């Protein structure tokens, strides 16, 4: 017989919200790892001591985490979803009849006090601390990658990277043994900073324009002899910076910040390999970057099995960007550098919480 659902006419219900959130729900896993005790203390100086009680900042932080974990980008929709979804209500400690903030008050707080107090960075660091405590961060190596995410930005009002306020890496006292990145990070300056200043092994492909494609010898066909400060060409002749002694010593550094090593014209004139080496020049010249030694370190590392391993690990960072797009972060909603920073901090916090929930689930329960 076909059943027919009739709205029950009970006046009172025995209903426990906690019973209706599945044990393996992602938000349960996130809730287990979320520590917001310090949020209130961090935000207290930004609230007045008198007047009407505000919306609970912890409630707003929980709502933001839902938004960035579940791909709900619109604040208006987030408020609606929290109002209707039992699991979201449970996560926000709202009960069945708790009032969900209006989306405009939510936005006002988010862009006002939250930004002034830098609470998002505080939360991000709290979650990273949790990852460290759970043994998910070893710091033997870091992987870096970049992805383009569209934003509403005015190029005329852009701020050079050098003027950005940089936060120290040293926040957690972590010191990576190596850094894996793609060739966009393989400039001589970057590599020199890593190798000489930070003493970190660069697992980075060298950004190299010296390879020739016209069939003539590339720089890699010449052998560098550091102890003699010279190159040896395929014909066994030497290329030096100076072929005579100057009365006034010269630095030998060109305007491009390189040292120029030259073969002897006499050697090149009589060389059988000249058509393959410098067919249109009287002699062969090889520029050497001032930080070429750092590039050589990166080239040597690229030939090791450890480099191959770190290259595979770097691919995991690419996956994180793909997940961001799945969570509808293909375009930033907030404007300006502060808006971008806020969005990325929240997205990274949500990603780390999702990872914690998945890798460190409740005892005996596999997280969704
Ligand atoms: S052309 Fe000059 S630099 Fe080139 S291989 Fe011959 S001798 Fe060496």
- Nearest ligand 1 atom to the CA of 233 is 8
Atom of ligand 1 nearest to the CA of 234: 5
Tell me, what's the pLDDT at 367? 41
Q: What's the maximum distance between 2 C-alpha atoms anywhere in the chain? A: 110
Q: What is the pTM of this model?
A: 0.78
Nearest CA to ligand 1 atom 4: 277
Among protein residues, the one whose CA lies closest to atom 7 of ligand 1: 268
Question: Are 59 and 39 a contacting pair, CB within 8 Å?
Answer: no
**In the block, residue with structure tokens 């349960």:** 28
Query: 230 to each of 16, 243, 278, how far by Cα in Å?
Result: 79, 11, 18
Using the mean position of ligand 1's atoms as its centre, give its distance from the Cα of residue 250 in Å.
25
- State the CB neighbour count (10 A cutoff) for residue 73: 17
CA of 277 to the centre of ligand 1 (A): 6
Per-residue pLDDT of the chain (368 residues; tens, 9 = 90+): 787 777 777 778 788 889 999 998 999 999 999 988 888 888 888 888 888 888 888 999 999 999 999 999 888 999 999 999 999 999 999 988 899 988 888 788 777 778 878 888 889 999 999 999 988 888 789 998 888 888 887 778 777 877 777 665 877 888 889 999 988 888 888 999 999 999 999 999 987 778 888 889 999 899 999 899 999 999 999 999 998 888 888 888 888 888 999 999 999 999 999 999 999 999 999 999 888 899 989 999 999 999 999 988 888 888 888 888 888 888 888 888 888 888 999 999 999 999 999 998 865 444 43
- How many angstroms separate the CA atoms of 183 and 168, rounded? 24
Single out the residue of 90, 88, 67, 83 nearest to residue 18, CA to CA.
90
* Ligand 1 mean position, distance from CA 296 (Å): 23
Distance CA 67, CA 338 (A): 19
Neighbours of 258 (CB within 10 A): 17
Ligand 1 pocket test target in 233, 264, 282 with most atoms within 8 Å of CB: 233
DSSP 99: P
Check residue 166 and give its pLDDT. Answer: 65
Report the nearest atom of ligand 1 relative to the CA of 283: 2
The CB-based long-range contact list for 182-188 (8 Å cut-off, 24+ gap) reads 182/145, 182/314, 183/207, 184/146, 185/144, 186/295, 186/298, 188/289, 188/290, 188/291, 188/292, 188/294, 188/295
User: Which atom of ligand 1 is nearest the CA belonging to 268?
Assistant: 2
Question: For residue 284, how far is its CA from the centre of ligand 1 (angstroms)?
Answer: 6
As a three-state string, the secondary structure of 270-339 is CCCCHHHHCCCCCCCEEEEECCHHHHHHHHHHCCCHHHHHHHHHHHHHHHHHHHHHHCCCCECCCCHHHH
CB under 8 Å to 334, separation ≥6 — which residues? 111, 340, 342, 343
Q: Whose CA is nearest to atom 2 of ligand 1?
A: 268
Q: Which of 224, 271, 275 to mutate to test the pocket of ligand 1 (most atoms within 8 A of CB)?
A: 271
Residue 162 CA to ligand 1 center (angstroms) comes to: 43
Please say whether the beta carbons of 267 and 237 come within 8 A: yes
Index of the ligand 1 atom closest to the CA of residue 271: 6
Both tokens of 361, joined, read 């689930």
- The burial class, CB within 10 Å (0-12 / 13-18 / 19+), for 320 is middle
Write the DSSP symbol of residue 195.
Answer: I
Atom of ligand 1 at shortest range from CA of 278? 1
Confirm if 154 and 335 have CB atoms less than 8 A apart: no
Sign of CA dihedral 171, 172, 174, 180: negative
Pocket lined around ligand 1, Cβ cut-off 6 Å:
233-235, 237, 263, 267-268, 271, 273-274, 277-278, 284
CA dist., res. 201 & res. 108, Å (int): 45
């Amino acid at each position: 017989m076909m059943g027919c659902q009739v709205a029950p006419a009970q006046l009172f219900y025995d209903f426990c919200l906690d019973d209706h959130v599945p044990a393996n729900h992602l938000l349960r896993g996130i809730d287990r790892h979320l520590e917001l005790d310090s949020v209130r203390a961090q935000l207290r100086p930004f609230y007045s001591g008198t007047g009407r009680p505000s919306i609970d900042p912890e409630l707003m932080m929980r709502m933001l985490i839902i938004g960035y974990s579940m791909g709900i980008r619109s604040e208006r929709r987030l408020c609606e979803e929290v109002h209707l979804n039992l699991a979201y209500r449970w996560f926000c400690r709202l009960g069945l009849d708790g009032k969900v903030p209006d989306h405009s008050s939510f936005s006002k707080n988010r862009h006002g006090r939250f930004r002034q107090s830098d609470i998002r960075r505080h939360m991000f660091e709290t979650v990273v601390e949790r990852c460290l405590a759970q043994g998910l961060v070893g710091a033997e190596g870091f992987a870096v990658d970049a992805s383009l995410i569209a934003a509403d930005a005015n190029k005329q009002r852009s701020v050079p990277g050098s003027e950005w306020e940089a936060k120290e890496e040293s926040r957690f006292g972590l010191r990576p043994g190596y850094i894996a990145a793609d060739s966009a990070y393989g400039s001589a300056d970057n590599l020199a900073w890593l190798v000489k200043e930070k003493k970190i092994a660069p697992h980075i492909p060298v950004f190299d324009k010296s390879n020739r494609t016209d069939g003539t010898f590339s720089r890699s066909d010449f052998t560098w002899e550091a102890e003699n400060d010279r190159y040896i060409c395929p014909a066994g002749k030497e290329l030096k910076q100076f072929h005579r002694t100057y009365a006034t010593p010269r630095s030998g550094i060109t305007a491009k910040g390189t040292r120029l090593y030259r073969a002897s014209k006499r050697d090149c004139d009589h060389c059988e390999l000249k058509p393959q080496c410098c067919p249109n020049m009287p002699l062969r010249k090889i520029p050497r970057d001032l930080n070429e030694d750092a590039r050589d370190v990166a080239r040597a590392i690229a030939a090791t099995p450890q480099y191959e391993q770190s290259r595979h690990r770097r691919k995991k960072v690419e996956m994180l960007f793909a997940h961001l797009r799945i969570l509808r972060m293909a375009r930033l909603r907030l404007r300006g550098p502060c808006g971008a920073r806020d969005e990325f901090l929240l997205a990274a916090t949500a990603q780390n919480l999702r990872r914690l929930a998945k890798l460190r689930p409740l005892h005996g329960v596999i997280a969704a």
